Chains A and B, each alone.
Chain A
Amino acid sequence: EAGVAQSPRYKIIEKRQSVAFWCNPISGHATLYWYQQILGQGPKLLIQFQNNGVVDDSQLPKDRFSAERLKGVDSTLKIQPAKLEDSAVYLCASSRTPLRGVQETQYFGPGTRLLVL
């Protein structure tokens, strides 16, 4: 099966500019995650979708970050305006819907490396 696709792979912007990332999950995966991974740290969940609904956005800085998943497939993550501390790798992952409490494996995309100057 095809993996999780993300674009762009790299992005350099100046602070206060806007940027958007795109993710296409594995076909049939209802759950989509956006993570922020700062150098030397583990992935930190920003937002989690189940189909086209948000199930967890408790760690999303909503004053500058937004995400949507129209039609329950592709998703975009936007930062507006960007700050220096937003420099990180943004990972998208997807998984099947858990059934009867049996968790499903997450599959990660290659990530988008963002540098804010």
Chain B
Amino acid sequence: GENVEQHPSTLSVQEGDSAVIKCTYSDSASNYFPWYKQELGKRPQLIIDIRSNVGEKKDQRIAVTLNKTAKHFSLHITETQPEDSAVYFCAASHTLLPSMKTSYDKVIFGPGTSLSVIP
């Protein structure tokens, strides 16, 4: 079935270094790829997303790259800070059209990466 893999499962970096998290997906119909950050005990929150018509997107210290041919996408965080410590989830999504009147998004989440930024 549809699957999203995510690596590494845990990542420790020194403050100021960069962090990279990689995801692969299996469904070639996927065309929307959001990234969520979940701090301990809190809800997942969207930090950046990318659509299939774009190869790269950047927002300050965060960037995401997408390779549709290889079916993988990555999250890059530069100049990491202690407040970046959290669990990061990638997801792959596409829209299903079961009928002329109905459409809905199918979203598959990766298992998560626990990032620790050491001061």
Can you list, as one digit per residue, whether each of B75-119 has a CB less than 8 Å from chain A (1) or not (0)?
A: 000000000000001000111101000111111011110000000
CB within 8 Å of B: which A42-73 residues: 42-45, 48, 50, 55-56
Residue of B at shortest CB range from A58? Answer: B1
Residue of B at shortest CB range from A103? Answer: B32
The CA-CA distance from A99 to B95 in the complex, in Å, is 9
Supposing A42-B110, A55-B98, A103-B93 touch, asked if A109 and B43 sit within 8 A by C-beta, the answer is: yes
B42 at the interface (CB under 8 A from A): yes
Chain A residues with CB under 8 A of B96 = 55
Interface hit among A11-19, A20-28, A78-86, A90-98: A90-98
How many residues of B are counted as interface, with CB atoms below 8 angstroms from the partner's CB atoms? 28
Supposing A31-B105, A41-B111, A42-B112 touch, asked if A108 and B34 sit within 8 A by C-beta, the answer is: no
Query: Chain B's nearest CB lies how many Å from the CB of A54?
Result: 10
Q: Which of B43, B103, B111 contacts A108 (CB 8 A)?
A: B43
Chain B residues with CB under 8 A of A48 = 104
Q: Which of A102, A106, A107 contacts B107 (CB 8 A)?
A: A106
The CA-CA distance from A97 to B109 in the complex, in Å, is 19
Q: Which of B95, B96, B103, B105 has the most CB of A within 10 A?
A: B105
Supposing A41-B112, A42-B111 touch, asked if A103 and B105 sit within 8 A by C-beta, the answer is: yes
B31 at the interface (CB under 8 A from A): yes
Chain A residues with CB under 8 A of B111 = 41-42
B46 at the interface (CB under 8 A from A): yes
B102 touches A56 (CB 8 A): no
Query: Chain A's nearest CB lies how many Å from the CB of B13?
Result: 20
A101 touches B45 (CB 8 A): no
Shortest 10 CB-CB distances between A and B: which pairs?
Answer: A103-B32, A42-B109, A108-B43, A55-B104, A42-B111, A98-B95, A101-B95, A103-B105, A108-B44, A42-B112
